[in-house]
Chains A and B, each alone.
Chain A
Amino acid sequence: MAVLLIAEHNNKELRPFTLNAATAASQIDSEVHAVIIGHDTAEVAKQLSELPVVKKILNVEAAYYENFTAENFAPVIVKLAENYSHIVCSANTFGKNLMPRIAALLDTSQVSDIIKVISSDTFLRPIYAGNAFATIKSNDAKKCVTIRPTSFDPCESTGGSASIEKVDASEEFSKTKFIKREEIKSDRPELGTARIVVSGGRGMQSGDNFKLITEIADKLGAAIGASRAAVDAGYISNDHQVGQTGKVVVPDLYIAIGISGAIQHLAGMKESKVIVAINKDGEAPIFSVADYGLEADLFEAIPQFMEELNKLNTIQK
């Protein structure tokens, strides 16, 4: 039986991690169908049909699907699940909110946040904030799997021509009402997919001082991250948090500034290809994962860092 991928989108375009989830789905089984549930999603359905790994699109539309409420989405997918062996989506806040609701209704034990497909029933997933990896085999007839998007490459996004089939909506769940979404818009690359991430921690001492991080990020074309301590202290908004309960990032370069390196923060960044740590405490645990460590006062080091970057003739973007 085929794999059903749940597409994540904003009713206008696909969210980028749908492509990573599609790759994982195609590693489970070559027959991947995708369901897109939303409001006015004809354009997104078309975009989805162009992914070469997706063989068929199921499109479900209703006004009450506009805000991705799990209580509305789950019954639709449960109904479709009859024809599929696996249900797959990203383990970001969209998938984390939705998939367990589906799994419980299907009476199946979900496999969360996998980083590798070993076979169609066996997966690798991090536990204990990535301090151990568990190989898990699912014995349920239907498998609900969420995938860690940064552990899978995005699939090709053009060249496919899957058919788009309309599917009837389920009844509205009226006990949950969407009120508002406050998205922080920025011209910078998205944290989850950026090639370079510059992160600040409690050592930044104030929200104002995060300007120093911003300057470097602008210079490098980087996304801005933060430790939980910095978000808790109100220096920066929650969408920047990197860690066990925030975002997991795997950039080519991760620069941790004024971050001590609590276990839960390391969980979100230690797979980065190159890690730089700037911290005045030479014993800080962040140095244990850093390829390049600089023991220095960040308020002296950051201006010098800008100066040195300015001296370079070219910077890769």
Chain B
Amino acid sequence: MKILVAVKRVIDYNVQIRVKEDGTGVVTDNVKMSTNPPDDNAIEEAVKIKEAGKATDVVAITVGEEKAQETVRKALAVGADRGIHVKVDGIIEPLAVSKILQKIVDKEKPDLVFMGKQAIDDDCNQTGQMLSALLNWPQATFASKIDVKDNKLEVTREIDEGLETIEINVPAIVTCDLRLNEPRYASLPNIMKAKKKPIEEISASDLGVDVSPRLEQIKVEEPPKRKAGIKVANVAELVQKLKNEAKVI
């Protein structure tokens, strides 16, 4: 079985975002970038399935600018066998990413495609479901547990009401929740080894996909600030304030 895992380069989750003064976006210059956190879970799961002898190939793919390749290199360092980098500059919407991934799936013929359930930059939560629609494959979104059984997967999904379990036929798409597993760190020898693993570079235009944005980002602004609160001295004061000042209890 072959698993394709899509990873995205985003602003590191620990960075406090700053909005650009001209309202065109957020500051990304000299800001720490990392792999989108649930994409790390997606890679980890694919590598674990391979280690369990249930997959033969793990291919990591990213779609993005030159530096996005770092995320593929990181995936190679934790166990992916080879990488693909589809080069695109500028904003690329989930619909365009899913069309690119569809072309790659046609070519690579993976049995499974994994990715994080949501990117923490645009918070869209769309790409996996869109790819699944374009391929007419089953989708298991927000996965917190995956059991591989021959040509089927049993997946536990995190939903608002609790947990849901579904069974999907391979080939299929799975989008991963942060609770799926604990991503490993790359060891230094593996980082060195990863430098020798191949990454194929493809330009989006060669795939014949129109990646021009359909959405116009009119402006990006800071959310309204909360006014500063106060510290109370003790519990009695807290309850008194809630009762008589805020009037919420």
Contact = CB atoms under 8 A, between A and B. Distances in A.
Interface of A: 69-71, 74, 92-94, 96-105, 107-113, 122, 126-140, 173, 175-184, 192, 196, 220, 228, 231-232, 237-239, 244-245, 247, 252-253, 263-264, 270, 273-276, 282, 287, 289-296, 301, 304-305, 307-309, 312, 315-316
A239 B162 contact: yes
Q: Which of A129, A181, A184, A282 has the largest number of chain B CB atoms within 10 A? A: A181
A179 B129 contact: no
Which label, helix, strand, loop or mixed, suits the secondary structure of the B interface? mixed
Interface string B182-196: 000000000000000
A271 to B, nearest CB: 9
A294 B172 CA distance: 49
Which label, helix, strand, loop or mixed, suits the secondary structure of the A interface? mixed
Interface in B120-167: 120-134, 137-142, 144, 154, 157-167
B160 A316 contact: no
Nearest to A273: B248
Contact of A136 (B179, B215, B223, B232): B215
Interface of B: 11, 13-14, 16-17, 19, 26, 38, 93-95, 98, 117-118, 120-134, 137-142, 144, 154, 157-169, 172, 177-179, 213-223, 226, 229-232, 234-236, 238-239, 241-243, 246, 248-249
B167 A177 contact: yes
Contacts of B142: 93, 96-97
Question: Which 10 pairs, one residue from A and one from B, show the smallest C-beta to C-beta distance?
Answer: A100-B129, A104-B130, A109-B214, A100-B126, A104-B133, A308-B239, A304-B235, A131-B17, A291-B229, A175-B169
A308 B38 CA distance: 42
A281 to B, nearest CB: 13
Nearest to B20: A132
Contacts of B246: 253, 274, 291-292
